[in-house]
Structure 1
């Protein structure tokens, strides 16, 4: 690995205690990312104390959910940030532990790494309505951030954007994660000329035609994993200047720390 590359990983843990029991720390020791953005900690500060503040030499910064055993995000990093932002200022969703932002600012630039966990709407209409509210108020936050700084947002977005992003797209058009409204939200966010867009889906920037190889999540039902009946739910979303620095990606489908696969992108970037 070129030492000049910044190695950034994202992984939905489906519980940090579960993921570490399945070998996550040893994998991090081998892979040596510069940062790993994690989602679904399913832990609170007392659960983390003395055990999970650091992993494989990386120091963690977290946003915990108020509800025990629920949600929670974090970023583990080799280099200490200049500032840490916990939550994005939303009274409804900040208590759910969905956003942590590390800033690596210098006199010459403003740069953030973000770990975010978008709500799932799969449990029913109430949570789908909440997911739509989240998308509605998170969009202007991203646009305001883009106007003032460069950033890479890593996370479980809980949306498969295009038909090529899930195996059975025809039968999922009325299911959460592939609803037209959710996909339209992503399309606008990624539209190069739209004033309400301008972000880049880094994986698709590097792999525009990938289908079966792109999946990052598989249902625990049936033989979804064995048959690679998956969805691409985990993303790197970057401002254009940072997306242009992406040099390579890898989805580690063979690692089973959770029902999601880690996704790493290498950037020609120095923090």
Structure 2
């Protein structure tokens, strides 16, 4: 079995202090770990952060300090590493890192959030337009892919607790949800968690606001996904969202695939 984990860390140094690296090198039994929102530059990365015990580490840092960034920890050395997806605007924000292995490619993705301002929502829409074309290209290549990360969109009403009051908020806008439906229905990508668990609600959440009592009341959103080509999705056998330790405002999502690398 191949175990793949994705986790938005909301600061890799903060998550490490809370035990994230100990978890991935021990109890998680992960082979590949995609991380997002590093909030760190290359000079901030200690040897332990750069390559925890048993892992190779690869990172795409944002130009802006303390912002964004993606990474992949791998027990298997990849054949090739790709930084960015060909967008000058969003590649500067460190939102895409790809590792190519023999039988498939793994991508760590951090899609923009539009919640902070109308300008950032417009940037999110630009990202969606540009990334849709990239997803179309990847699917047409015939290669198998798993895209792990924080997509910053809850797709369906069952993917967040307070869906009625969030219909005009970034992350659950009709345009965002329709775009994700096109990714699945038009391009053929598969929401792997939903393939395994089509009807779960509260147990599917991966993000809780730090405001109020969201964590305690499980007022969450499912915005962290593993989205795969049909061949890879067909190999998925189990999924788990880890909540025992809170490393950040997101919970790690681990999916196991019937595959060896």
- After superposition, what is the alpha-carbon deviation per residue over 1:205-245, rounded to whole angstroms, capped at 9, x for unaligned? 00000001000000011100000000001000000010000
C-alpha deviation, 1:253, in angstroms: 1.9
CA RMSD, 1 decimal: 0.8
1:219 lines up with 2:174 in the alignment: no
Q: Of residues 11, 17, 24 in structure 2, which corresponds to 1:21? A: 17
Q: Distance in 2 between matches of 1:22 and 1:56?
A: 17
Q: Which residue of 2 aligns with 1:237?
A: 227
1:78 lines up with 2:75 in the alignment: yes
Structure 1 stretch displaced more, 28-37 or 258-267 = 28-37
C-alpha deviation, 1:31, in angstroms: 1.6
Q: Distance in 1 between matches of 2:71 and 2:249?
A: 18
Contact 1:38 1:75 in 2 (8 A): yes
Secondary structure of 1:147's aligned partner: helix
Q: Which residue of 1 aligns with 2:167?
A: 173
Q: Distance in 2 between matches of 1:25 and 1:51?
A: 8
- After superposition, what is the alpha-carbon deviation per residue over 1:165-224, rounded to whole angstroms, capped at 9, x for unaligned? 000000000000000000000000010xx3xx1000000000000001000000011100
Q: Of residues 92, 97, 100 in structure 1, which corresponds to 2:94? A: 97
Secondary structure of 1:10's aligned partner: strand
Q: Distance in 1 between matches of 2:256 and 2:23?
A: 17
Secondary structure of 2:33's aligned partner: strand
Q: How many residues align?
A: 259
1:147 lines up with 2:143 in the alignment: no
Structure 2 unpaired stretches of 5+: none
Contact 1:26 1:56 in 2 (8 A): no
Q: Distance in 2 between matches of 1:57 and 1:42?
A: 23
1:208 lines up with 2:202 in the alignment: no
Structure 1 stretch displaced more, 249-258 or 24-33 = 24-33
